[in-house]
A and B are shown apart, each in its own frame.
Chain A
Amino acid sequence: MAGHSKWANIQHRKGRQDKLRSKLFSKLAKEITVAAKMGDPDPDKNPRLRLAVKEAKSSSVPKDVIERAIKKSQGGDAENYDEIRYEGYGPNGVAVIVEAMTDNRNRTASTVRSTFSKNGGNLGETGSVGFMFDRKGQVVYPADVADADTVMMAAIEAGA
């Protein structure tokens, strides 16, 4: 499974660069707003919201930004975001899944389509590349939390 670790590494490295930090914050806040709007605004009663808040906290999103994102979902004038998944091929036939949350499907679809075509790829139908991926849960711990054997035991006990 060597490929997976490289794939994870680059994701991680990209995340660390932090050059798009404010963008990252707004994306995490959007996920919180959408999750809170779909279910209960109490993270303890809404698993998706709980995960979204946790992910935001671990990326150091300030607490008031998180609270504002939840509050925003309860206001009547909050934007309605549609969740859309785009699938396509990048250069060299690499399969790409794009997850979007948008208040304007037409705008997003045309942006995604032109970004693919300008960069040597092409957008396909939904389902065209999805079979090359499995939906999984992922939990990441820093290496210094414990040694690999201890984490492995904990993972097995946790049912992973």
Chain B
Amino acid sequence: MQSDEDNHVIICADTDLNDVSNALEAELGESDSTKLIWQPNITTEVDLDGLTKLMKLLDTLEEDDDIQRVTANFEASDEVMAAFGDE
């Protein structure tokens, strides 16, 4: 589990998702989101240039009506994320 200023994120085994989310809802109420994800177990660090190019690829893929979801295993420092957010 991870918490930051916006969210609490709880990760569980894919096959347990229904049971875990039901149990959590009994305790905490309706969640913001409950879904199966691809969680990276190895990540690749990107700089601002790399992140900008990568986001263009991911955004273009996501804009296609046939594509439901896109996941990438990148990692970026706080500085790079902040600089990207400012662009």
Show the binding face of A for B, using Cβ within 8 Å.
1-10, 12-13, 20, 23, 26-27, 30-31, 47, 50-51, 54-55, 58, 90-102, 104, 107-108, 111-112, 115-116, 118-121, 129, 132-143, 145-146, 148, 151-152, 154-155, 157-160
Contacts and interface: CB of A to CB of B under 8 A. Distances in A.
B24 A95 contact: no
Contacts of A26: 65
A104 to B, nearest CB: 8
Contact of A92 (B9, B50, B63, B69): B50
A145 to B, nearest CB: 5
Contact of B23 (A115, A141, A159): A159
A60 to B, nearest CB: 11
A24 B58 CA distance: 15
A115 B60 contact: yes
Given A91-B53, A136-B13, A155-B24, A142 B66 contact: no
B4 A58 contact: no
Interface in B59-81: 60-76, 78, 81
Contacts of A142: 6-8, 32
B66 A158 contact: no
Given A135-B39, A136-B12, 16 more contacts: A91-B53, A91-B57, A94-B44, A99-B71, A111-B64, A111-B66, A112-B64, A132-B40, A137-B12, A137-B34, A138-B10, A138-B17, A139-B12, A139-B31, A155-B1, A158-B12
Contacts of B81: 6, 9-10
Nearest to A156: B1
Contacts of A155: 1, 10, 20, 24
* Binding site secondary structure of chain A: helix
Contacts of A151: 1, 3, 8, 10, 28
A90 B62 CA distance: 14
Interchain residue pairs A-B with the least CB separation, the first 5:
A137-B17, A158-B23, A3-B75, A119-B57, A133-B38
B21 to A, nearest CB: 5
A155 B3 CA distance: 12
B7 A47 contact: no
